């Protein structure tokens, strides 16, 4: 597992936990004053990671591949 922290806009800390084996991601908010932890989001990444591209600009991965393939 990998854990990453980042500050949030409301003076709390966001903790992102990545489980590479399960291919899952969880995001928690830790209140700086009380120490309370709240689970904000959980996502299984299995299907996300099988996409070729999403919301990307040109050139797309397919366009780059076609330029690099031998003719």
pLDDT in tens, 21-64: 999 999 999 999 999 999 999 999 999 999 888 888 888 888 88
3-state SS of 11-50?
CEEEEEEEECCCCEEEEEEEECCCCCEEEEEEEECCCHHH
Contact status, residue 61 vs residue 53, Cβ threshold 8 Å: yes
Is the pLDDT at 4 greater than 90? The verdict is yes
Q: Distance between CA atoms of 26 and 40, rounded to whole angstroms?
A: 8
The two structure tokens encoding residue 23: 């291919």
Q: Which pLDDT does position 24 carry in this prediction?
A: 97
Q: Which pLDDT does position 62 carry in this prediction?
A: 85
Is the pLDDT at 71 greater than 80? The verdict is no
Q: How confident is the model at residue 20 (pLDDT cuts 50, 70, 90)?
A: very high
């Amino acid at each position: 597992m990998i854990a990453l922290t980042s500050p949030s806009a409301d003076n709390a800390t966001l903790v992102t936990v990545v489980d590479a084996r399960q291919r899952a991601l969880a995001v928690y908010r830790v209140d700086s004053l009380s120490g309370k932890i709240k689970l904000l989001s959980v996502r299984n990444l299995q299907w996300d990671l099988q996409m070729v591209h999403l919301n990307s600009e040109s050139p797309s991965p397919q366009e780059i591949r076609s330029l690099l393939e031998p003719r």
